[in-house]
Amino acid sequence: MESSIQDATILLGHWSVFGAFVLAGWAAIAGALGGAARSFAMTKSAERAVLAATGFTLLAAACLVRGFLSDDFRLDYVYLYSSTSQALPYKIAALWGGQAGSLLLWVALLAVMASIMVLTNRRHNRALMPWAVAVVATTMAFFLLLLNVVEPPFRMGPMRPDGVGLNPQLKNYWMMIHPPTLYVGYVGFTIPFAFGIAALITRRTGDLWFRTTRRWTLCAWTFLGTGILLGSYWAYIELGWGGYWAWDPVENASLMPWLTGTAFLHSVMIQERKGMLKVWNALLVILTFCLSIFGTFLTRSGIISSVHSFATSNIGPFFVTFLFLAFFGSLVLLILRLGDLRSEARLESILSREASFLFNNMIFVGIAGTVLLLTTFPILSELFTGRKVTMGPPIFNMVNVPWALVLLLLAGVGPLVAWRKASTVNLKRNFAGPVLIGTWVLLLLLFRDVRGYLSAVGKTFAAMGQLDLALALERVQAFYPPLTFAIGAFVTATVVSEFWRGTRIRMRHHDESGAIALGRLVSRNKRRYGGYIVHLAMVTIFFGIAGSSAYRHESVHSLVPGEILEVGPYWMRYDQLRLVAEEDHIGAIVEASLFDAKDGTVLAKLAPEQRLHPNLQFEELRSAFVEARRLGQEGSPEYQRSVVGLFGLIRSLESRAQREVKTPSTEVAIHASWSLMHPARLAEDFYVIPVGIDPDTGQASFRVFINPMVNLIWFGGLLFVAGSILGVLPDARERNRLAGALALEDRAIA
């Protein structure tokens, strides 16, 4: 009975993927026909096909999940990413553990969004909708084509007793939330792109298309940003190298669309208000969509490791074709429509809000461009010269840090500088205080280490004297941290003054108390104040990055149980070594106590751990492991001995079998200081990784990091989410604007 259900599930899943492809293909064709012939029936048919395709896609995903839940190891995909012992949440998360499932999740998310788009626009946007549906359905059809032709998720093999299982590094709950969050971000940009293209095709290039998709864009952008932050947090607590961002191609892939998306969010405001930058906005939405697809391509095609692996990976050529068509097709369309996109106003002054937004856009796109160039340079070099090269983090930092600081400065300037042309009065009124505060912070920081900064100035000039520009630019980096704090203080002051001024005016005019006035001020204009909160979040994140990269301490130590280690303001006592045999690994846990060096109070108990996941294909190892697990349940002293024996067995097996019989992993121990008693250490992490542990003697070596202010990054991340959500929440003012645009459109069509 069960086996026939399993057979039916696989069959159903397999044909659902096919059915979804056919329906998405039809939706694309019918949408285009409906748009071209202005046929209401065709458009309706396209919209229904999207809904049906969504149903089939979800059905396929459900069938695959069901395959995981029922341990159906006939399915290659289930065999590779799951095992009988895998806990339930990881059986579900294994859906996106590999290629086919990730693509299926991607298209399922897109399908759900497409359906929401169809359902919320049943009566609106009748001119744009057929084309928007066609664009989204084409994207869906592309991914479904991959799933049907190249990466079928329901590929079957012989029944196998057990699966390989998910990589141990992926088995933590970040795996459950980080990839889907990121995917929602990537996928979400398809909707604004679709409306942008629809606006270009139909020549309805007013503000309707981006007003309709404002919240879509903001949502996608929020999810993408959150996904990036979650990814760096995951890397920080799980991967054990003490850092959170390495300019890895996979990280860059997610950062690029976020950067152009941020630029887009800003520059549409100029189009809304002034009818300027129309071409630029269309270009940005095209870029953001293409970079999202490119990001998926970078992470999924294997092109990063080598052009050669790209040639063997089979989805690569499909992606390149799709990207090529999407990008150049959109570009050609944009060029054909240049006549419809004339600006309604001109820039009048460099000291104006328009100009500051334009600069912000140029920097965002500039940074995205450099990241793109540096990320793809190795690929291009290998393709054209046959020489493989790599680009390390220092290049990325060299280019991006100074421009990111200018960007941060603009986050303070942009919202307060007047439209058209700022008067001296406007500048004085809004910026005198914040500039003073920023300067004061800068001087304070410089005076704290006068000698150090003077010598940095000397070294910079010395390098310039030797005409060594690279060295001079490197020396200048000593000034980035104090500059970051000064600029951050300036931005914070401008934002706080905005809140303060708005609240005070309300208190006076409406006779409200401070709290009520602040609450109403924010809720009456969520987009604006949400934006300010996001700016504050960025300041906080910049502080965290500056503090943790400039003042970090890193050292390696070797200790025996009972020994005390002194690092900075901390003492760490290595109390004892505990050995355990858990579900799928044996672990050596270093139990340690962390003390405040000043007064000897206990700050925390730490338990960093080194784990070995034994390869249970080796019978000898399997039986010893099972035996140790059995003893573990009794908690006897033989237990410890048997686990020590396991460590020894692995070593001897390896020398005998001449191959590795385990997969090691490390659990980091982190103590974060949040005590207000030590403001200098606020948000600081004491971060310890066991490097090598001898289970016989208990001798262990550690790598210890003190990462000051690093928690500001995560705190800023929460603030970012809060501000973004505020911006996405329904807002009466925005609703009226959209309703106005829609009414205008309806009249125009009638």
Site for other proteins in 660-719 (CB under 8 A): 660, 662-666, 689, 691-694, 700-701, 703
CB of 166 or CB of 268, closer to other proteins: 166
Tell me which stretch binds other proteins (CB under 8 A): 430-438, 572-580, 656-664, 719-727.
656-664
Residue with tokens 């996904």: 227
Encoded tokens for 328 = 């150049």
Whether 719 and 210 have beta carbons less than 8 Å apart is answered as no
Whether 285 and 193 have beta carbons less than 8 Å apart is answered as yes
CB of 7 or CB of 554, closer to other proteins: 554
The crossing angle, in degrees rounded to 10, of helices 424-448 and 450-465 is 100
Identified binder of other proteins from the candidate list 403, 418, 507, 568, rule CB under 8 A: 403
Task: Give dist(CA 427, CA 349) in Å, integer.
Answer: 14
Identified binder of other proteins from the candidate list 157, 317, 393, 452, rule CB under 8 A: 393
DSSP classification of residue 418: P
**Is residue 474 near other proteins by the rule CB under 8 A?**
yes
**Is residue 7 near other proteins by the rule CB under 8 A?**
no
**Is residue 84 near other proteins by the rule CB under 8 A?**
no
CA atoms within 13 A on the CB side of 681: 17
**Is residue 76 near other proteins by the rule CB under 8 A?**
yes
Task: Give dist(CA 724, CA 225) in Å, integer.
Answer: 10
**Is residue 279 near other proteins by the rule CB under 8 A?**
no
**Is residue 299 near other proteins by the rule CB under 8 A?**
yes
Nearest approach, Cβ of residue 218 and other proteins (Å): 24
DSSP classification of residue 122: S
DSSP classification of residue 306: -
Encoded tokens for 268 = 């549409």
CB of 587 or CB of 723, closer to other proteins: 587
Give which of 223, 266, 211, 121 is closest to 733, Cα–Cα.
Answer: 211
Nearest approach, Cβ of residue 404 and other proteins (Å): 12
Residue by residue, what is the 3-state secondary structure of 135-171?
Answer: HHHHHHHHHHHHHHHCCCCCCECCCCCCCCCCCHHHC
**Is residue 481 near other proteins by the rule CB under 8 A?**
no
Neighbours of 11 (CB within 10 A): 12
Give which of 429, 519, 444, 437 is closest to 481, Cα–Cα.
Answer: 444
CB of 257 or CB of 378, closer to other proteins: 378
CB of 394 or CB of 514, closer to other proteins: 394
Footprint (CB under 8 A) of other proteins, residues 88-147: 98-99, 102
By three-state DSSP, how is residue 179 classified? helix
**Is residue 725 near other proteins by the rule CB under 8 A?**
no
CB of 132 or CB of 565, closer to other proteins: 565
Identified binder of other proteins from the candidate list 157, 317, 392, 648, rule CB under 8 A: 392
**Is residue 385 near other proteins by the rule CB under 8 A?**
no
Residue 589 β-bridge partners? 578, 609
| Strand pairing category for 586-596 and 564-567 | unpaired
Nearest approach, Cβ of residue 275 and other proteins (Å): 17
Nearest approach, Cβ of residue 537 and other proteins (Å): 24
**Is residue 348 near other proteins by the rule CB under 8 A?**
yes
**Is residue 185 near other proteins by the rule CB under 8 A?**
no
Identified binder of other proteins from the candidate list 87, 350, 432, 444, rule CB under 8 A: 350
**Is residue 473 near other proteins by the rule CB under 8 A?**
yes
Nearest approach, Cβ of residue 688 and other proteins (Å): 12
Footprint (CB under 8 A) of other proteins, residues 500-559: 556, 558
Nearest approach, Cβ of residue 556 and other proteins (Å): 6
CB of 41 or CB of 389, closer to other proteins: 389
Identified binder of other proteins from the candidate list 118, 175, 201, 341, rule CB under 8 A: 175
- CA-angle at 50, arms to 219 and 144, nearest 5°: 85
Nearest approach, Cβ of residue 170 and other proteins (Å): 5
**Is residue 458 near other proteins by the rule CB under 8 A?**
no
**Is residue 197 near other proteins by the rule CB under 8 A?**
no
Identified binder of other proteins from the candidate list 347, 446, 550, 616, rule CB under 8 A: 347
DSSP classification of residue 125: -
Give which of 540, 542, 568 is closest to 688, Cα–Cα.
Answer: 568
- CA-angle at 293, arms to 287 and 299, nearest 5°: 130
Give every strand in the sheet of 553-559, ordered side by side: 553-559, 700-707, 684-693, 669-673
Footprint (CB under 8 A) of other proteins, residues 202-261: 234, 240-241, 250
Nearest approach, Cβ of residue 745 and other proteins (Å): 33
Encoded tokens for 286 = 């095209």
Tell me which stretch binds other proteins (CB under 8 A): 33-41, 125-133, 354-362, 576-584.
354-362
- Give the total residue count for the chain: 750
Whether 478 and 453 have beta carbons less than 8 Å apart is answered as yes
Give which of 202, 199, 225, 231 is closest to 212, Cα–Cα.
Answer: 199
**Is residue 349 near other proteins by the rule CB under 8 A?**
yes
Identified binder of other proteins from the candidate list 41, 116, 164, 444, rule CB under 8 A: 164
Identified binder of other proteins from the candidate list 313, 360, 494, 540, rule CB under 8 A: 313
Nearest approach, Cβ of residue 696 and other proteins (Å): 11
CB of 394 or CB of 740, closer to other proteins: 394
> b/e string for 382-397 if b means 16 or more Cβ within 10 A?
beeeeeeeebeeeebb
**Is residue 169 near other proteins by the rule CB under 8 A?**
yes
CB of 309 or CB of 321, closer to other proteins: 309
Encoded tokens for 93 = 């998360």
Identified binder of other proteins from the candidate list 84, 305, 576, 623, rule CB under 8 A: 305
Nearest approach, Cβ of residue 392 and other proteins (Å): 4
CB of 363 or CB of 441, closer to other proteins: 363
**Total site size for other proteins, rule CB under 8 A:** 82
By three-state DSSP, how is residue 636 classified? coil
Footprint (CB under 8 A) of other proteins, residues 593-652: none
Identified binder of other proteins from the candidate list 291, 358, 483, 704, rule CB under 8 A: 358
CB of 101 or CB of 632, closer to other proteins: 101
Give which of 68, 65, 53, 64 is closest to 144, Cα–Cα.
Answer: 53
Q: Please report the sign of the dihedral spanned by the C-alpha atoms of residue 510, residue 514, residue 516, residue 518.
A: positive
Nearest approach, Cβ of residue 534 and other proteins (Å): 24
**Is residue 309 near other proteins by the rule CB under 8 A?**
yes
DSSP secondary structure string for all residues of 12-80 = HHHHHHHHHHHHHHHHHHHHHHHHHTT-HHHHHHHHHHHHHHHHHHHHHHHHHHHHHHTT-TTBHHHHH
Tell me which stretch binds other proteins (CB under 8 A): 19-27, 218-226, 312-320, 494-502.
312-320
